[in-house]
Amino acid sequence: MVFRRNGPLNAAKDRGPVVYPKMFRRLCDFAPRKKNGSVTGSLASFLAHKKSPDLCFQTKDFLAAGGQPANNLRKKLAQFVTAGDKYQATPGGLVFVEAASKIVDRNNRPIPSTW
């Protein structure tokens, strides 16, 4: 059960806006910077000018390619946010490209795979 300050959440009565987790994290980065003046412009502009832009595929392209879409089908997340900061992708409409990861020891040396 999820609790709010005013008691338990009744999901059936919740009519507020939805913020998807990917966008929530980007907004948590953008909003304080906008408030303190370290960035100007819209969320779309902020996303478009990130040093490492968030990349994604449209789900239809990803599925049509059997999970291995060509790189030329990659899009920037900023393409799906309007200048008025409205997220235009549908729920489940994007598949995000994640950076490769590696496991390291306490000295930041890669731990080789044992598989």
- Give tens-digit pLDDT for 26-57: 999 999 999 999 999 999 999 999 888 899 99
- pTM, two decimal places: 0.70
18 versus 110: the higher-pLDDT residue is 110
Residue 115: predicted pLDDT: 59
Residues 54, 59, 64, CA angle at the centre, nearest 5°? 125
Joined tokens for residue 28: 């948590």
> 6-21 burial, b if ≥16 CB within 10 A, otherwise e?
eeeeeeeeeeeeeeee
Confidence class of residue 114 from pLDDT cuts 50, 70 and 90? Answer: low
CA 104 centroid distance within chain: 25
Q: Give mean pLDDT, residues 82-108.
A: 88
Q: Is the pLDDT of residue 2 over 70?
A: no
- Give tens-digit pLDDT for 66-87: 999 999 999 999 999 988 888 8
